[in-house]
Amino acid sequence: MSRTQALRQAITSGKLFTAMSAHNPLSAKLAEEAGFGAIWGSGFELSASHAVPDANILSAGTHLDMMRAIASAVAIPLIADIDTGFGNAVNVSYVVPQYEAAGASAVVMEDKTFPKDTSLRADGRQELVRTEEFQGKIAAAAAARRDKDFVVIARTEALIAGLGQAEALQRALAYEEAGADAILIHSKQTTPAEVLAFIEAWPGKVPLVLVPTAYPELTEADIQQLGKVGLVIYGNHAIRAAVGAMRAVFARIRAEGGIRGVDKELPTVKEIIRLQGDEHMRGIEAAYLR
Ligand code: SPV
Ligand code: MG
């Protein structure tokens, strides 16, 4: 079964599927080893790893190159975060086949204006394009894919923009009608109340997708019980874990005046060599170096 088929099946199976964020092939590999079902090719994480805001500062090419590197480092499906699609429906038509060719199994596209501002920042610029315009972008994405199993996920930022449930539902239904395979409903409320209200009211047929960063108390068991959600995305936990771990180790080395204290607590150099894929390279050496 191809990765696109596996992803499509998983999000419609009735059993909740999980995706962990990654900002490079190493973080993707760690997520795969931890047992997540898919990789979330997060724009927020890639921006953070370049120390720039998540506001279309990085080019589409930079994101695409990283998606290609991630997709070739893991065997599980990659869900690429294409932000607003890097322009209008014309741009989307050209971008989607490039993400497919890079090895992604899905794209998530959000209904904000280009250039976007990040969703979870207080007081960010959260302007949405017209519903009809975004329907055109979703239809363009669906038509541009070469593999019919490639998954197109429409993300509405109506709740993020403070436009209310009615607008969020109207947009989500319009995006389903335009050909979206799933709807990502995003919220930055610190309780799950507005997302739960949306899920309860959702009359559509396609599965919903959640990114519970702002309301972390909602567990996978809770989400599974809701019945309408096919995928949960952990949006930024790789970069936050990395920042926390690096900061703690760097501080200790400064405080202790050397690496003696931290050395035994860190993953060994041998472990990093394993993660680099050393075994594969040694196999090539043994077979072909003469
Ligand atoms: C990302 O991880 O880039 C996302 C999720 O789009 S969020 O940052 O919550 O908008
Ligand atoms: Mg993003």
Q: For 197-236, what is each residue's pLDDT tens digit?
A: 999 999 999 999 999 999 999 999 999 999 999 999 999 9
According to DSSP, the residues that pair with 184 across neighbouring strands are: 155, 209
Using pLDDT thresholds of 50, 70 and 90, give the confidence band for residue 95: very high
For the chain, what percent of residues have pLDDT higher than 70?
100
- The mean pLDDT of the chain is 98
> What tokens were used for 170?
């109207």
Q: What is the mean pLDDT of residues 261-290?
A: 98
Q: How many residues does the chain have?
A: 290
pLDDT at residue 242, rounded to an integer: 98
- Pair 29, 275: CB distance under 8 Å: yes
The finding on whether 99 has its CB within 6 A of some atom of ligand 1 is: no
Residue range 61-75, pLDDT digits in tens? 999 999 999 999 999
The mean per-residue pLDDT over the stretch 25-53 comes to 98
- Ligand at minimal distance from the CA of 239 is 1
| pLDDT at residue 20, as a whole number | 99
pLDDT band at residue 110, thresholds of 50, 70 and 90?
very high
Give mean pLDDT, residues 85-91. Answer: 97
From 118, 155, 195, give the residue whose CB has the most ligand 1 atoms within 8 Å, as the site to mutate.
118
Q: Which atom of ligand 1 is nearest to the CA of 40?
A: 2
Question: 213-228 burial by CB neighbour count: b if 16+ within 10 A, else e?
Answer: bbbeebeeeebeebeb
How far is 254 from 231, CA to CA, in rounded Å?
Answer: 42
What structural domains and CATH numbers belong to the chain? 3-236 (3.20.20.60), 243-288 (no CATH)
Pocket test for ligand 1, best of 119, 185, 187, 210 (most atoms within 8 A of CB): 119
pLDDT number for residue 264: 95
* Local structure of 91: helix, strand or coil: helix
> Residue 22: its pLDDT value, please?
98
Q: Which atom of ligand 1 is nearest to the CA of 44?
A: 3
Report residues near ion ligand 2: CB below 5 Å: 43-44, 81
Per-residue pLDDT, 66: 98
Per-residue pLDDT at 96: 98
Which pLDDT score, from 0 to 100, does residue 90 have?
98
Where in 31-171 does DSSP place strands (E)?
38-41, 78-81, 106-110, 151-156
The pLDDT of residue 89 is 98
Q: Tell me what pLDDT residue 151 has.
A: 99
Q: For residue 7, give every residue at least 6 positions away whose Cβ sits within 8 Å of its Cβ, in sequence order, or none.
A: 17, 38, 77, 79, 105, 106, 149, 151
Ligand number with the minimum distance to the CA of 56: 2
Q: How far apart are the C-alpha atoms of 34 and 288, rounded to whole Å?
A: 33
123 in active site: no
Q: Say which range, 120-129, 181-190, 204-213, has the weakest mean pLDDT.
A: 120-129
Q: What is the pLDDT of residue 101?
A: 98
120 C-beta closer than 6 A to ligand 1: yes
Alpha-carbon distance of 180 to 83, in angstroms, equals 15
pLDDT at 221: 98
